Structure 1
């Protein structure tokens, strides 16, 4: 149990710089840097769906030279034959990020495999998605032949951070979002004004905010001048009140609230 908790804490801490870069010009590089720390991701592409017939490439960053061409091709045609498409749209009614099925080449058509895997040297893919109102943000993580396929541990780490990464991407690419010059300040405002965070005590909010900053339980205890047992107790009480059981769920809730609270912009 402790090993799993440490594993998740490490993965979440790795993506903290990307979370704090939301709304800034440096977000793409912060994101790919974080993903490389998490699981040696080679390339990341983000697509949005505003409906079954509409797709757009929002982000193309990493080590695939033909990424721009892939983004155009996917947006214009190949999104209609993506085997993840059904799972993405079936998840529209859900309020949590979606982790898509494991990659398998046989899932794709011959023309899709040729362009996206053979010609582009992609050997593995992991994907997640999140719906915000009527828009879906579809996040894809790739590795090329030189890197080899994702290992089991790397897939576990990507699964751990996928909800937070998806929510961060959604926040960054909200069309009407203003740049977040003080992202932690915005999170503090959400904790003070938005449900369900308003039900937390002051100390529980302080602990949760430090979790979102990427601090370990030991670092939180030291920062607040309390014992480790007390820090863990405040965390447990907060999670119980929020109806969650993990850090990635806390990230997803916080970033979704920042995305949907228009008056903060």
Structure 2
């Protein structure tokens, strides 16, 4: 007898369900949140970033955060790329040993400006990193960050992160490959990559403007006054160096 059934993810144990959700999110904008949710079953991480560390200027390939300020991880990534990657004590050892896991405490970073700008200013206290080589033998670095509110990783969390690292690197490789084949326009991430100083509310409003929503519609959607929407819009436009909605659309089109 032929029998068809609908897969029921809800019947999976919680840890397996989180991993199932992560694999189904490959190549989609939901991957960053799914990655942090999956890791949260074993070790709570506040932020992650993925950078191609090739040439004079690294490239931020992916990032995600649980922090209320969604732009924090991109701001830190941009500062790292522009000013501090040369002072990263983990990268060179990891580059020579792809697949190994490096562990760094913020207090052990010798270069003061790097320690202050990335870690102390943003409340990050600890980082785990690993490197793999892409199809062109370029090093790609995966970073997990711990926030001071969480305390330091305990021994069990460190062991789980180390054990999961090979699978996570392979999933990241697949996610980035799918993204390159099927690029998805994500206005929030694209705008943040251009202007990491955008606040969460400014970002929310710009994204809705790009969707064609009116100021009144945005106000109703976000539960704020229309005048507040215009205030945040003006601040965002100032940061972006534009004056009109048409310029916002043109900016997004240029990035897409």
Class of the TM-score when normalised by the shorter of the 2 chains:
0.5 to 0.7
Structure 2 runs not aligned, ≥5 long: 1-13, 184-256
Aligned equivalent of 1:116, options 99, 115, 118: 118
Aligned equivalent of 1:149, options 152, 163, 179: 152
Aligned equivalent of 1:139, options 133, 136, 142: 142
Match of 2:162 in 1: 159
Aligned equivalent of 1:103, options 81, 102, 105: 105
Match of 1:86 in 2: 92
Match of 2:203 in 1: none
What are the residue-to-residue correspondences of 1:210-249 with 2, within 5 Å?
Answer: none
Tell whether 2:139 aligns with 1:170.
no
Structure number with larger C-alpha Rg: 2
Match of 1:73 in 2: 79
Answer with 25-34 or 169-178: which moved more. 169-178
C-alpha displacement of 1:178: 2.5
TM-score normalised by L of structure 1: 0.56
Distance 1:112 1:11 in 2: 36
Tell me: CA distance 1:24–1:112, structure 2 relative to 1, closer, same or farther (3 Å): same
Tell whether 2:27 aligns with 1:23.
yes
Distance 1:134 1:12 in 2: 32
Map Cα deviations across residues 223-258 of structure 1 (whole Å, 9 max, x no partner): xxxxxxxxxxxxxxxxxxxxxxxxxxxxxxxxxxxx
Distance 2:21 2:43 in 1: 15
Tell me: CA distance 1:150–1:134, structure 2 relative to 1, closer, same or farther (3 Å): same
Q: Secondary structure at the match of 2:128?
A: strand
Aligned structure 1 segments of 4 or more residues deviating by more than 6 angstroms: 10-13
Tell me: CA distance 1:136–1:16, structure 2 relative to 1, closer, same or farther (3 Å): farther
Larger RCO (alpha carbons 8 Å, 6+ apart): 1
Answer with 115-124 or 102-111: which moved more. 102-111
Tell me: CA distance 1:102–1:82, structure 2 relative to 1, closer, same or farther (3 Å): closer
Structure 1 runs not aligned, ≥5 long: 1-9, 181-265
Distance 1:11 1:112 in 2: 36
C-alpha contact (below 8 Å) 1:82/1:108 kept by paired residues:
no
Distance 1:131 1:28 in 2: 21
C-alpha displacement of 1:34: 1.0
C-alpha contact (below 8 Å) 1:78/1:112 kept by paired residues:
yes
Answer with 115-124 or 104-113: which moved more. 104-113
C-alpha displacement of 1:68: 1.8
C-alpha contact (below 8 Å) 1:48/1:135 kept by paired residues:
yes
Name the count of aligned residue pairs: 167
Q: RMSD between aligned alpha carbons?
A: 2.6
What are the residue-to-residue correspondences of 1:5-44 with 2, within 5 Å?
Answer: 14-44=18-48
